[in-house]
Structure 1
Amino acid sequence: MSAEITLFVNPAAGRGRGAHAAQPAAAALRAAGFHVRTVVGTDAADALARLRTAVRGGTGAVVAVGGDGVVSLALQALAGTLVPLGVVAVGTGNDFARSLGLPVCEPALAGRLAAEALKESRFREIDLGRAAGTWFGTVLCSGFDSRVNDRGNRMRLPAGRFKYDLAMLAELAAFRPFPYRITLDGGHALETEATLVAVGNGPSYGGGMRICADAAPDDGLFDVVVVGDCSRTTLLTVFPRVYRGTHLGHPAVTVHRAARVTLESPGLTAWADGEPVAPLPVTAECVPGAVRVLA
């Protein structure tokens, strides 16, 4: 393994925590004897291009410093390679790190653990999802939650997470179930009215919302959670239970397991790892052992 490690940093993650977190992470790697090269792009496309150049150049590992957004970019460069990924999770969501039991908002500890894993060649091979040419590590969603994301991204004010709270209220006011056609592993298509459909490679999204609570990132299958046709009142009752994962026992919720899922519904966009992927229809495929993670 090359002694040069690439520190892939989103300095704006976690309202500026990314810039500060890079320092103890780099210090831990240098103390373990590694040479650290930092990659920071002017925007997402530039950052990904720089990271891909580092991977092609033979970097020994990539340590992503930030939230799920910077991890998602790293996955686009690392999927299908033998270059391992370390995570220093300091964003607002950090669902990828949570799903693997990695430290959250503890950059010095996360840096030390990544350095130790590198020294000991300790990796965990995990699955990734792929949809419309995009790799994802946590959850691909569509329906009510993706409409909230769509609306929130169109809003210029207010800033921060509050705009998504307002977007949720606006979507609740206009709430209606969506007609879905769901095809699992190329079999018979399920046609149903649903509030949302989540395709989970990992258990959570949105900063700890355990929408696919039983999903495991190394079993070769997605957990496909369908929240059926329900009223606003039922949705408001069920939604808080998502943080504990207890919503899976509600009569309006069904869970399927599949390696390949096609979602069709007019006017909806699929989001994965907190980023827009493509308008539906979208096919997601679970790719076993697609990336190595330092753990």
Structure 2
Amino acid sequence: MRQFTAVVNPTAGGSSGTAALLVLARLLREAGAQLDTQYSRSLEHAREVARAAGEQGRIVLAVGGDGIVGCVGGALSGTDAVFGIVPAGRGNDFARALGLPTDAPALAELLLNGSPRAIDTIEVESAVHPGVAVLGSVYAGVDAVANRYANTSRLLRGAASYYAGGLRAVATWRPAAYHITVDGVPYERRGYTVVAANSGFYGFGRNVAPGARLDDGLLDVVVIKHAPKRLFFAMMNELKTGAHLARPEIEILRGKEIRIAADRAIPYGADGEVEATLPVTVRVRPGALNVLC
């Protein structure tokens, strides 16, 4: 029977996140599995716990939202450890991309009997993050600003915090001149953001890169070019369905190594947590993570 170590973000999802873990833990233990629960004190602590558990041959579960999922999954990238996800955050975008069940019985069944699948991860290289691995995407521009506002919101939760954060970010945004290099080929673009996507979803269910695949050895680079702000909001609504791809302001590039720079200090983010300022280089790590999905 499988042995699990759950690395928990104690602030994710509020009481609903804690309740989800309690129900899942009961189901796993009733089936005969062993479950050890560790509450993270910081992202670095979460990485340390995850690596230690993986080295012991335990299945490592990330319990929370995209921040803890990206942190724990990134820590296990390039190892033989098996990774599982218990979605209990606000966005849960990486769990969405994997098609994970949201009800506890189905998720318990998957964790107990599912087979690991090798997926790609992203290596992030910058002055602040030398060689950090993440899972979903790296985004540089107005979305990074919006995500920062959403994560620090005390009044709003869930989709409302992302929407309000987006309104606030766009209201003060000035178009940036991006310098993008994809597998050695340079591109100069002016606009709102550049997203290097391993997973199609970010920002609470927005399907920014519908063509992205987690196991194709490539990153989809989505460039949202300059447009009137009223049109930008229309495009944001279209991200839910993928209709934004038909707009001329959207450009898709693909490659294995992408460098993103800009004409000013543009913030970038990754998986909802990693934050710094451009330039940044990202590289795909093919098949680097074994995940139950």
Q: TM-score, normalised by structure 2?
A: 0.90
| 2:99 is the counterpart of 1:126 | no
Write the distance in 2 (CA, Å) between the matches of 1:156 and 1:60: 35
Match of 1:5 in 2: 4
Q: Which runs of 5+ in 2 are unaligned?
A: 126-130
1:62 corresponds in structure 2 to: 60
Note the 1:226-265 alignment, pairs <5 A. 226-265=223-262
3-state SS, counterpart of residue 171 of structure 1: helix
Deviation (angstroms), 1:159: 5.0
Aligned mate of 1:194, from 185, 191, 194 = 191
Equivalent residue for 1:73?
A: 71
How many residues are paired up? 286
Going from structure 1 to structure 2, the CA distance change for 1:229 and 1:77 (only over 3 Å counts) comes to: same
Q: How large is the RMSD of aligned CA atoms in angstroms? A: 2.0
Would you identify which runs of 4 or more consecutive aligned residues in structure 1 move more than 3 Å? 150-153, 155-167
Q: Secondary structure at the match of 2:187?
A: strand
Moved more, 241-250 or 17-26: 17-26
SS in 1 for 2:121: strand
Q: What does 1:77-226 align with in structure 2 at a 5 Å threshold? A: 77-104=75-102, 106-117=103-114, 122-132=115-125, 133-152=131-150, 157-158=154-155, 160-161=157-158, 162=160, 164-187=162-185, 189-226=186-223
- The Cα of 1:216 is off from its aligned counterpart by 0.5
User: What percent of counterpart residues are identical?
Assistant: 33
Alpha-carbon distance change, 41 to 6 in structure 1, aligned in 2, over 3 angstroms: same
For 1:33, the equivalent position in structure 2 comes to 32
Alignment check: 8 A CA contact 1:259 1:286 kept: yes
CA distance 1:92–1:115, change in 2 (3 Å): same
CA distance in 2 between partners of 1:208 and 1:151 (Å):
17
Q: Equivalent residue of 1:264, what SS?
A: strand
Deviations 1:191-234 (A, max 9, x none): 12121111110111012100111100000001111111111121
SS in 1 for 2:41: coil
SS at 2:202 equivalent? coil
Tell me the TM-score normalized by structure 1.
0.90
Q: Which amino acid aligns with 1:240?
A: N
Gaps of 5+ in 1: none
Which segment is superposed worse, 281-290 or 133-142?
133-142
* Aligned residue identity for 2:83: L
Aligned partners of 1:205, 1:269: CA distance in 2, in Å? 16
Distance change (3 Å), C-alpha of 1:116 and 1:31: farther
Q: Distance in 1 between matches of 2:248 and 2:140?
A: 20
